[in-house]
Amino acid sequence: MENFSRYIKTVLAGMVAVLLLLGCFNWVIDPFNRNKKVDFGLPKEAVSSLMNYQMYKILQYDSPSIIILGDSRSDVLRAEYFTDENVYNFSYGGGTLYEAIDTFWFANQGNLKAVVLGVPFCIYTEANSVNRFPAARQVTRNPLSYYLSPLVTKSGVMALLTKYTGRSFKTERPEMSREQFWSHQLGPGTSMYYDMWSEPKVLKSRLIEMVEYCDDHDIELLFYIPPTHQDLQDKLVEYQLVDQYNSYKQTINNLGTVLDYDVPGEFASDRDNFLDPYHCTKEAAKDIAADIIGLLSKSRN
Amino acid sequence: MLFNSHLFVFCFLPITLVAYYLISRVMSHRFSLVWLVFASLFYYAWWNPKYLILILGSIGFNYLFGRLIAQHSNRFLITIGVITNLGALAWFKYAGFLVQNLNVVADTNFHLQTIILPLAISFFTFQQISYLVDVYRGTEPVSNLLYYALFVSFFPQLIAGPIVHQQEMLPQFFKEQISKFSQEKFAVGMTLFFIGLFKKVVLADSVAVYASPVFEAADQGLVISFFEAWGGVLAYTYQIYFDFSGYSDMAIGLGCMFGIKLPINFDSPYQATNIIDFWRRWHMTLSRFLKHYLYFLLGGNRCGRNRRYFNLIVTMTLGGLWHGAGWNFIIWGVLHGLFLIINVIWRSWRSAKNRVVGKLEIWLGRVLTFVSVVMAWIFFRATSITGASGILKGATGQNGAILDDRLEPVLSWLSPVVQFEGTHAGYFNLYGVPWLIVLGLVCWFMPNPVRMMSRFRPALDIGTGFYDRVKTRFPEWQPNRRWAVVVAVLAVLAITHMARVSEFIYYQF
């Protein structure tokens, strides 16, 4: 006579014990600040934003009236630059337009008044269809998937290690001088985007769907084309993408109001305005934020 | 509500299970079956309550038609019954595809609104067609609507099979002991369920991330090189196996937990030594359906050689089309039809020569079968013919062979034929290679879970002699502490990985 009863008990008890342990750890440490019940003074934001920025931002989202979407060029427009406005920056470094659009549908919880969507040329491409948003949303969807997630446990362990051992998990800066990094970004960094650039079709239809929805629901949609340095603007000729670039600008202009900073001129030629050919400095970002506020309030009036 | 969701594992399943046995104990076996029908319909409605009407209508129609056919044994009635079922399937599944092709061929501009494919329609339609045909051929119709509704809607098999026959299900429903809790059945069922869940969420979903980028790139018309193509296709080969066989294991396991045995659906298909053997091991209940209700109907192998080949092609093409409305599925079916014809020709040539099959030939057959199946998966997975031909071009070396330059020190001897390029060369991530090796070994050398538990006969054999075949040297499952630890670990790993975005591939069919 085989002991099925003992077998069943061992499997279920073992499984429940481990899951409970894991769940309790994740509930107490709560590295993504889901429940905010226990505070050990852990560097949760630093670690969690590194582990899964989308998840972190989803969990901190509190239905503001204005959201900013896009990649790192939009992420630099920090919410605190928009004084007197209830703004949430819902952009992710390394993000794609697919992620930005999915984020919009998630963020649209009835309270939205305006959306600022950063659409730089290099992510306006069908070639980069990476979309990490659904995966992040899946983990945050219900308490069980969050508290039983190995990613949450890993982030919790990292937060503990950072606090109690002083170990840093921040992304290491590349061992390059500013000049070398500049060249790297113009070389392999640009080839990564421009070699594979392809005319967006699915992406464009999704953008149009979003534009139509905003029109129908009185949500102001503002497109923002971030500044790039002249060196990068010149690369379009090298990669034979000038026509595609012009067509992209035309399309975005047809879709709605556009704040276009990606133009040749004094600003674009001055390296002091940029961290690298793709990213402007904090100071420039503050000015852009001021322009955005100005434009939004003007249209409201 | 998928089997791999928290809602299913922590709410739906325990509640349904406890209530099932409680009702049987407090009330009666009959009421516990009523509960099971209710739970199954609730499970179906969770996806979209609107389509509950469809499945209820289908159950009602086929139940009544079955009785009518039994009373009158009329060819006209069976024709109407089959056409009605196929008509519903055609409308929901193939109307868009037909209109699209008509527009191309006849240069018309018909427009059809998007039709949502009701969940499980392909499965419950086939199941009920087989029921009507069986009744027409003389099998007793189901005399009780409750039993018939359970036969169609029993939730473990409702969405993606196994496709069951009334003869194997109905006799079980009559037995009162199925609703009496049995520790043995529960232990066996729970074990199979967790192994299946592990196969799905840990193995299939993990390897899926290596397949998708390659196929997506090919669908966009990007150039796929040799190693990328093979990496992506092999990843998909393992993904679809672990996805679907994992689902089937879960279904069989769930059936056991409720005291009901479902037919076996997978028998280590990648260990097949020829393509005929492959179809005896892959989606076995679909193969059975196609064989009994299509191939035999067309005349099978009784009408001469050429007619047999024609029947094979037609059967497999329709089998391909059953999976989805698209030319890629049709090509996949045609390819398998051709493979089967080649296999039949080879077999008759070999038996004419009276040749004994050696070990080497068995292994060559196994490799050739595997490669053929893998190549056919290209058409199954790609969403366009352009994508499929892009992968095919890559896999046949027409786009050159590029490897990540981190491998150059080890593989520099390949440099005459291989180009070493960049640290991100290609759409197939190198971290996928260990997965391919491990999953390949599992598929090729390990017995499947049902075989490992064959002493307890958790699934119904469907005439393939599954339980009579030679046992493997791999340790059999026993209800002991060692296996309990193994299963508990698999369960924990599976449950903690359930938060990933994932869907069963066969749900869309």
- Per-residue model confidence (pLDDT) at position B505: 67
- Per-residue model confidence (pLDDT) at position B379: 93
Binned at pLDDT 50, 70 and 90, residue B502 comes out as low
Residues A72 and A205 placed together within one structural domain of the fold:
yes
Tell whether the model's pLDDT for residue B506 goes beyond 80.
no
Residues A167 and A53 placed together within one structural domain of the fold:
yes
* Range B30-35 contact pairs with CB under 8 angstroms and sequence separation of 24 or more: B30/B146, B32/B179, B33/B146, B33/B147, B33/B150, B33/B173, B33/B179, B34/B146
Tell whether the model's pLDDT for residue A300 goes beyond 80.
no
pLDDT of B408-464, one tens digit each?
A: 788 878 877 777 776 555 677 778 889 999 999 999 988 899 988 988 889 988 777
User: Which among A198, A209, A193, A171 has a CA at the least distance from the CA of A51?
Assistant: A171
Q: Chain A residues with CB inside 8 Å of B485's CB?
A: 10, 14
Chain B residue nearest residue A12, CA to CA: B488
DSSP 8-state secondary structure symbol assigned to residue B261: -
- Per-residue model confidence (pLDDT) at position A1: 44
- Per-residue model confidence (pLDDT) at position B151: 93
Q: How far is residue A245's CA from residue B106's CA, in Å, rounded to a whole number?
A: 38
Nearest beta carbon to residue A11 from set B190, B496, B500? B190
Tell whether the model's pLDDT for residue B58 goes beyond 60.
yes
Helix (H, G, I), strand (E, B) or coil at A57: helix
Binned at pLDDT 50, 70 and 90, residue B256 comes out as very high
B497 CB near a chain A CB, below 8 Å? yes
pLDDT of A22-33, one tens digit each?
A: 999 999 999 998
- Per-residue model confidence (pLDDT) at position B24: 93
Contact between A127 and B222 using a beta-carbon 8 Å cutoff: yes
Residues A202 and A299 placed together within one structural domain of the fold:
yes
Q: Is B86 exposed, middle or buried (0-12, 13-18, 19+ CB in 10 A)?
A: middle
- Pairwise pLDDT comparison (A47 vs A102), residue with the higher score: A102
Nearest beta carbon to residue B6 from set A134, A144, A188? A144
Nearest beta carbon to residue B492 from set A2, A15, A127? A15
Chain A residue nearest residue B482, CA to CA: A7
B4 CB near a chain A CB, below 8 Å? no
User: How close is the nearest chain B Cα to the Cα of A300, in Å?
Assistant: 38
- Per-residue model confidence (pLDDT) at position B471: 66
Residue A300 falls inside a structural domain: yes
pLDDT of A242-268, one tens digit each?
A: 999 999 999 999 998 899 999 998 989
Residue A96 falls inside a structural domain: yes
Residues A254 and A288 placed together within one structural domain of the fold:
yes
Residues A20 and A104 placed together within one structural domain of the fold:
no
Chain B residue nearest residue A137, CA to CA: B501
User: Which among B446, B8, B449 has a CA at the least distance from the CA of B189?
Assistant: B449
- Per-residue model confidence (pLDDT) at position B72: 86
User: How close is the nearest chain B Cα to the Cα of A13, in Å?
Assistant: 9
Chain A residue nearest residue B487, CA to CA: A11
Hunting for tokens 């659906």 — which residue is that? Answer: B265
User: How close is the nearest chain B Cα to the Cα of A188, in Å?
Assistant: 10
Contact between A19 and B487 using a beta-carbon 8 Å cutoff: no
What's the mean pLDDT in B470-482? 81
Binned at pLDDT 50, 70 and 90, residue B234 comes out as very high
Contact between A6 and B478 using a beta-carbon 8 Å cutoff: no
Q: Chain B residues with CB inside 8 Å of A188's CB?
A: 422
Residue A29 falls inside a structural domain: yes
Q: With a CB-CB cutoff of 8 Å, which residues 458-487 of chain B face chain A?
A: 478-481, 483-485, 487
- Per-residue model confidence (pLDDT) at position B199: 95
Label residue A225 left, alpha or beta by phi (over 0 means left) and psi (-120 to 50 means alpha). Answer: beta
User: How close is the nearest chain A Cα to the Cα of B194, in Å?
Assistant: 10
Choosing from B6, B72, B111, B323, the catalytic residue is B323
DSSP 8-state secondary structure symbol assigned to residue A241: -
Q: How far is residue B158's CA from residue B410's CA, in Å, rounded to a whole number?
A: 50
User: How close is the nearest chain B Cα to the Cα of A6, in Å?
Assistant: 8
Residues A42 and A91 placed together within one structural domain of the fold:
no
Residues A19 and A92 placed together within one structural domain of the fold:
no
Nearest beta carbon to residue A4 from set B6, B183, B485? B183
- Per-residue model confidence (pLDDT) at position A174: 65
Chain A residue nearest residue B182, CA to CA: A4
Domain residue limits at A213 = 63-128+196-301
Residues A97 and A148 placed together within one structural domain of the fold:
no
B306 CB near a chain A CB, below 8 Å? no
Contact between A144 and B191 using a beta-carbon 8 Å cutoff: no
Mean pLDDT for all residues in chain B: 88
Q: Give the whole-number percent of chain B exceeding pLDDT 70.
A: 97
| Residue of B495, B502, B503 best to disrupt the A interface, most CBs of A under 10 A | B495
User: Which among B267, B283, B191, B203 has a CA at the least distance from the CA of B448?
Assistant: B267
Query: Can you give the CATH number for the domain in which A234 is found?
Result: 3.40.50.1110
Residue A209 falls inside a structural domain: yes
Residue A182 falls inside a structural domain: no
ipTM of this predicted structure = 0.84
Tell whether the model's pLDDT for residue B17 goes beyond 90.
yes
- Per-residue model confidence (pLDDT) at position A167: 75
Tell whether the model's pLDDT for residue A299 goes beyond 60.
yes
Chain B residue nearest residue A15, CA to CA: B488
Residues A145 and A293 placed together within one structural domain of the fold:
no
Residue A190 falls inside a structural domain: no
B29 tagged catalytic: no
Nearest beta carbon to residue B488 from set A15, A144, A150? A15
Residues A114 and A141 placed together within one structural domain of the fold:
no
| Residue of A2, A3, A7 best to disrupt the B interface, most CBs of B under 10 A | A7
Nearest beta carbon to residue B187 from set A8, A15, A150? A8
Residues A84 and A69 placed together within one structural domain of the fold:
yes
Work out how many domains chain A is built from and give that number: 2
Tell whether the model's pLDDT for residue A301 goes beyond 80.
no
Binned at pLDDT 50, 70 and 90, residue B495 comes out as very high
Q: Give the whole-number percent of chain A exceeding pLDDT 90.
A: 39
Residue A179 falls inside a structural domain: no
Q: Chain A residues with CB inside 8 Å of B194's CB?
A: 11
Phi, psi of A69 (to 5 degrees): -120, 155
pLDDT of B133-172, one tens digit each?
A: 999 988 888 888 999 999 999 999 988 879 898 889 999 9
Q: Chain A residues with CB inside 8 Å of B498's CB?
A: 145, 148
B53 CB near a chain A CB, below 8 Å? no
- Per-residue model confidence (pLDDT) at position B96: 85
- Per-residue model confidence (pLDDT) at position B470: 63
What's the mean pLDDT in B270-281? 93
For B33, B74, B153, B254, the CA distances from B28, given in Å and listed in that order, are 9, 38, 20, 21
Tell whether the model's pLDDT for residue A170 goes beyond 70.
no
- Per-residue model confidence (pLDDT) at position B350: 81
What's the mean pLDDT in A138-142? 88
B216 CB near a chain A CB, below 8 Å? yes
Residues A272 and A205 placed together within one structural domain of the fold:
yes
Residue A155 falls inside a structural domain: yes
What's the mean pLDDT in B29-42? 95
